[in-house]
A and B are shown apart, each in its own frame.
Chain A
Amino acid sequence: MSDAPRTLAEDLRGRGDDAVATLLRLRPDLLNPVPNDLTQLATRAGTRASVVRALERLDRFALQTAEALAVAPDPCPYETLLALLGGDEGIPEVTEALPGAVDALRASALVWGGDDRLHLVRTARDLLAPTPTSPSATGLGPTVTEATAGMSPGRLQELLAAAGLPATHDPVSAVAALTALFRDRTRMSALLAEAPEGTATVLSKLMWGPPYGEVRAEGASAPVRWLLARGVLLPAGPGNVVLPREAALHLRGGLAHRTPEPHPPAVQPGATHAIATVDATAAGQAFTAVRTVEDLLKSWDAGGPPVLRAGGMSVRDLKRTAVALDVGEPIAAFWLETAYAAGLLASDGEADERYAPTPAYDEWLRLPDEERWAALVAAWLPATRTPGLVGGRDAKGRALSALGPELDRSLAPEVRRRVLALLASLPEGASAKPEALLARLRWERPLRGGADALRAQLVHWTLEEAELLGVTGRGALSAHGRALQGRTEAATDAQTAAAEAAGLLAPLLPEPLDHVLLQADLTAVAPGPLRAPLAETLGVLADVESKGGATVYRFTPDSVRRALDAGRTADELHAFLAAHSRTPVPQPLTYLVDDVARRHGRLRVGAASAYVRCDDDSLLAEILADRRAAGLGLRRLAPTVLAAQSPPDVLLERLRSMGFAPAAESAAGDVLITRPDAYRTPPRSASLPVPEGPPVPDETLLGAAVKAIRAGDRAATAVRKPVPRPAGARLPRTTSADTLAAVQAAVLAGEALWIGYVNADGAASQRVVEPVRVEGGFVTAFDHTADEVRTFALHRITGVAELAEPAGAGDEPA
């Protein structure tokens, strides 16, 4: 066809707007920045980074197709490609699926051209074609042409002769003849039929790759020698042989891949449970999730654990949290991260940073249970933070801490979405094995090495986390979990989906109760969740012994005291217990409350700064009644004792001014006698005088000083011989700013300068130069000393001086 596109750009030009839009949707990186024209788009689509990214997004069969194209001639007719993927016999599934795969490759601009001339983008070809260093997923080796490159014509003729082909003097046609032989199934089979015993074993080792084999130094075995003689094996470096691609394809029956995978593996349903069971279990767990997060943050009401300097929570704090929540550390980390993702907890940003619940937490608390759950799940689904990593180490060996940095994995949300979508595709009530899900995800998007290992972990974590959050129950997606599957990935859609899920969950959650069962063994059992105010009061009055569907509380003297400390009276507690108990309050409990209340507050503790005591209580009454004592903060503790809020000296002073004669008392109760000289320091030496200025010098020092001054003076005033020119004996020194200014001035004036210069070896010299140009820290100048134009680094010029005499008479440096 004459109008067949010659480049990708032309191909794109021939496509509709929709196709280009699809391309940009599939490869959003091409859009940033928006390309000017299709040529630029095509160029960008061919860059290595972009192609790598596009290849990573292919499903397994599309990738296999691209790999097959990479080992096929370029351009490659559709039939050839089909033969590579379906083999000589053809596989019906491949025939059926291949057009789709080719279209997918075209859509993402990895393949262009019509079906008669399919081109794989050059970069993709380079990435996928086999080379000795990066073997192809096909396990195929180089072509005969590639493998025989550099082989002597004589050797080629020998190969032809051994393979029974007519001799030719042209190496190119010799290679072509050999290639044609290998491609011809009939002739090739005939040739191999003559091979000595053991050849098939040798070939079967190399047939599916890797195609390289080692040959023992002391001499190859008969089959290898036979194969090498006929070019079925070709030398590939010392001691190595390679099976050329055409020969391998012959042995494989034309298949580029051992197992073409045209269809995704179906996810087989695992254990199946009644839908009601699944929903109820998930709802129970959803309820637990909400309560757990609430418990977690409630325990941080008075400030949470400190933030590590590197960010995150310390291992010890995580352990403590895990113990408090009665779960394992990984699960505790999950709850922390979920609350964090939902914006319920954050660092407080103070100088000594701590974690604390956010104001959003208070709002969250006011929501009904199902909406609280929806908030958690809506935060979990798109989160890139991966709690499962907590406790592990990053690539540099640093521990990964909960709420800390380095926990983001961009793969996580995609895996979560896909896992839930796959679960949703199963019949209702069916769970799936993680292996089956993983196999499916691996087909949908083959990943390599670390990314694949991470995904395997993510699948496990997703299933565990979904169960913990009550999105699934017994491994199967619940009705409310199903509703979470938004139609699209848009944020608004996710919100409606979450609201819908909450609506489905609501009727399944247990109704909060307003009563407990009190028992004579001093326990109370709440046979279900309690109304918030009841739970709060009971939580103060009793210790929680076991949690779950019900809550078991135990009353102890300590817990009752706690309630009394919180301002409750014994009567209030009795009334509270009677009001919320369905059965009569057991007598031991009544006694416990009374006993603790009787002793509670019998000892009183307060703070006072001073006291006044006097055996005459009427005198104390007089002081209390006196108006002048008003500011002292006096309070009568007992008939003979007043407590005061002012310090003892103020109190003494004031009482004296009021006309009393108080005496101070020591801590032991003795009267303190105050005398002016009563207080002494420990033994001290007297202080030395510190006169202004230096001390007066003695005679010896003075004499020596005078002598020295005289000597100096004589030296300075002596008549010296004039210093001979040239001044070149020393390097001139100027500041760098002066240097630059002088050089620039010299350029303008066309004058010569005398400079001092230190070369790269550190050797100093002086030169007379005529600067021509100053640029980028360099001076280009005619060097009179060397009689040529040179460049001098500005920073190496020690200094400049103007020449008094005309240049040219510069002396050699000393």
Chain B
Amino acid sequence: MLVPDLLPRCPPERKGHRVNGPLIVQSDKTLLLEVDHPQADECRRAIAPFAELERAPEHIHTYRVTPLGLWNARAAGHDAEQVVDALVTYSRYPVPHALLVDVAETMARYGRLRLVKHPTHGLVLETTDRPVLHEVMRSKKIHPLVGARIDEDTVVVHPSERGQIKQALLKLGWPAEDLAGYVDGEAHPIELREDGWELRPYQRQAVEGFWHGGSGVVVLPCGAGKTLVGAGAMATAKSTTLILVTNTVSARQWKHELVRRTSLTEDEVGEYSGTRKEIRPVTIATYQVLTTKRKGIYPHLELFDSRDWGLIVYDEVHLLPAPVFKFTADLQARRRLGLTATLVREDGRESDVFSLIGPKRFDAPWKEIEAQGYIAPADCVEVRVNLTDSERLAYATAEADEKYRYCATTDTKRRVTEALVARHRGDQTLVIGQYIDQLDELGEHLGAPVIKGETTNAQREKLFDAFRAGEISVLVVSKVANFSVDLPEATVAIQVSGTFGSRQEEAQRLGRVLRPKADGHEARFYSVVARDTIDQDFAAHRQRFLAEQGYAYRIVDADDLLTGDELDEV
């Protein structure tokens, strides 16, 4: 029997310490893991295959058991017995029977339907359980995606609908096991050039996890070297690769990094962006150019078909735009790797990412990577600014849709920001904001250059280079620098305003200062917030992701800050 005898056979002295597993299984299918428990690591490894880490604050980590997670575990070769065993072994209290039954039933749904390659009919959906096929065939969503019925248990699927039907079946609760395999694509030799550096253990694990699973998403904190995971995957695939990135600056960084770290040469890596349209064995394209619409069509989506790609890498996959979603669905026969730091979308389409790119293959909590020394420790500080009376009155009378803009850009905030910059004179400081007027004003007062949407790519690169070299110590940036801008030297980031309550933006901005510092000192992240306004509510929401990753925000009153001391003590 799989149930170990953690519980005593006969009740010992009344109500003593009887059971002491690190895990508490809640009735809403969340799992609470006590981090300081001696068995915590063991337990974490046991539940990681099927439970999603939802929150990782200091004492208790929350995991969630979802059908998707259970099916992914099935896909990775775990069975219901292992899941039940893990829950029962580590649970502090008896696990509700209903939950165990539900786990077993959910997992049993996986694999009743399979997508396989039929020797004569091509891609087919076959079943081991005839009523299930009947049930899904009656669904209006499935019907247009399938072709002729070959026999009672098998039906033809249009190869182009492979992604769609997987997505639809998932929604119906009968996930299909995809055994149809991948095309190898056009072979192209790529090797990692590990001279004086090597893939970090977790990067290696991520590459292996991805390759073993075929397709999927790798979640690593900002600054933890996602590019190298991409490079590692390419070196494993050894085939032509299409890399999708957020913007041109990021594309150039990818190219630079690939040339430096792999056997690829400048000529083998092409850039497909607004300015250049190169198609090479390894092509880096921006989401922007792919989603440019002309006369109702997306002319650049042809890029997907322009070569026989063996691997498609999606950088910052949480930003995947809707048209690319649609097109990705048609690419199910190619290997897909998604990279992200924060798979939270305010539009709640995370599950679409999972079903189209693939399940999460590797996930490392931020604090764990920090503990290993691969990202800098960060001190997050929320600076609460008291608005002046006149500002409060103006805020109170502002139109509802102008309120955030007003309180996020008040003069008081500007003064506090200036004080913060002054305090960190000598440190490489980034000032990040949402509103261009505010940034321009700040740039003027601080005497610092401003990078915003209208800044040309050349100008951006020039400024970033100067910042990296230490020629400029303060840089004011708009949200164009949210992602994929590699500024290893930045140690202080000051956020003055943001895209309302976006959690991933907050995380990405913190990520700008997380590259490990040469002298190992910690990074500082300030979020300047106007007290008692909507700004504060948004800030609370923005901080949730990081707070759940274990970044405890300190709150400091701007008044204390302006009068001097107190800031650096923790």
Contact = CB atoms under 8 A, between A and B. Distances in A.
B27 A326 contact: yes
A552 interface: yes
Given A284-B94, A548-B96, A275 B9 contact: yes
Contacts of B94: 277, 280-285, 473
A161 B29 CA distance: 82
Nearest to A273: B3
B569 to A, nearest CB: 12
A284 B28 contact: no
A474 interface: yes
A783 interface: no
Interface in B380-408: 382, 384
A521 B14 contact: no
A546 interface: yes
B552 A520 contact: yes
A293 to B, nearest CB: 15
A288 interface: yes
A102 to B, nearest CB: 45
A639 interface: no
Interface in B52-74: 55, 57-60, 62
B38 interface: no
Contacts of A273: 1, 3
Contact of B59 (A276, A508, A519, A549): A519
Interface in A514-544: 517, 519-523, 525, 527-528
Contacts of A285: 94, 96-97
Contacts of B15: 506-507, 509-511
Give the bracket for the number of chain B residues in contact with chain A: 35 or more
Interface string B80-106: 000000001001111111101000000
B55 A277 contact: no
A282 B554 CA distance: 44
Nearest to B30: A546
B24 A521 contact: no
A586 B28 CA distance: 26
B57 A276 contact: no
Given A506-B14, A525-B32, A547 B26 contact: yes
Contact of B57 (A474, A509, A520): A520
Output the residue of A506, A548, A552 with the most chain B CB within 10 A: A548
Contact of A550 (B32, B532, B550, B555): B32
A802 interface: no
A396 B3 CA distance: 49
B57 A519 contact: yes
B60 A525 contact: yes
Contacts, number: 131
A280 B57 contact: no
Q: Which of A274, A549, A583 has the most CB of B within 10 A?
A: A549
A595 interface: yes
Contacts of B98: 467
B555 A527 contact: no
A276 B8 contact: yes
Contacts of A276: 5, 7-9
Interface in A592-614: 595, 599
A687 interface: no
Contacts of B24: 527-528, 548-550
Interface in A545-564: 546-550, 552
A679 interface: no
B296 interface: no
A510 B93 contact: yes
B11 A326 contact: no
Nearest to A547: B27
A521 B25 contact: no
B548 interface: yes
Interface string A469-480: 000011100000
Contacts of A274: 1, 3, 5
A272 B97 CA distance: 14
B55 A521 contact: yes
A520 B30 contact: no
A134 interface: no
A588 interface: yes
A588 B27 CA distance: 28
B552 A281 contact: no
Nearest to B64: A546
Interface string A263-280: 000000000111111011
Interface residues of A, number: 47
B300 interface: no
A278 to B, nearest CB: 9
A22 to B, nearest CB: 42
Contacts of B30: 546, 548, 552
A47 B459 CA distance: 107
Contact of B552 (A279, A282, A587): A587
B34 interface: yes
Nearest to A506: B14
B7 A277 contact: yes
Nearest to B550: A520
B188 interface: no
B553 interface: yes
B97 A467 contact: yes
A606 to B, nearest CB: 23
B96 A284 contact: yes
B531 interface: yes
B369 interface: no
Contacts of B8: 276
Contacts of B59: 517, 519, 525, 583
Contact of B27 (A272, A288, A506, A509): A288
Nearest to B14: A507
B9 A326 contact: no
Nearest to B549: A521
Contacts of B100: 474
Nearest to B9: A276
Nearest to B34: A527
Interface in B262-300: none
Interface in A278-322: 279-285, 288
A508 to B, nearest CB: 6
A549 B30 CA distance: 11
Contacts of B91: 549
A509 B14 CA distance: 9
Contact of A521 (B32, B57, B532, B554): B57
Contacts of A586: 58, 552
Contacts of A550: 24, 26, 32
Contacts of B114: none
Nearest to B6: A276
B40 interface: no
B261 interface: no
A547 B28 contact: yes
Nearest to A272: B1
B539 to A, nearest CB: 11
Nearest to B28: A546
A548 B547 contact: no
A186 to B, nearest CB: 53
A548 B25 contact: yes
Question: Could you say which of A517, A519, A523, A587 has the most chain B C-beta atoms within 10 Å of its C-beta?
Answer: A519
Contacts of A528: 24, 92-93
Interface of B: 1, 3, 5, 7-9, 11-12, 14-15, 19, 24-28, 30, 32, 34, 55, 57-60, 62, 88, 91-98, 100, 382, 384, 531-532, 544, 547-548, 550, 552-555
Q: Please name the 10 residue pairs, one residue from A and one from B, whose CB atoms are nearest each other, closest first.
A: A548-B26, A284-B94, A520-B552, A549-B93, A507-B11, A521-B547, A519-B57, A550-B24, A280-B94, A548-B27
23 contacts: A280-B7, A280-B94, A282-B94, A284-B96, A285-B94, A288-B27, A467-B97, A475-B97, A508-B11, A519-B58, A519-B59, A520-B550, A521-B55, A525-B59, A527-B32, A528-B93, A546-B28, A547-B26, A550-B32, A587-B553, A588-B553, A588-B555, A595-B531
Given A528-B24, A552-B30, 8 more contacts: A274-B3, A275-B9, A281-B96, A285-B96, A473-B94, A549-B25, A552-B62, A587-B554
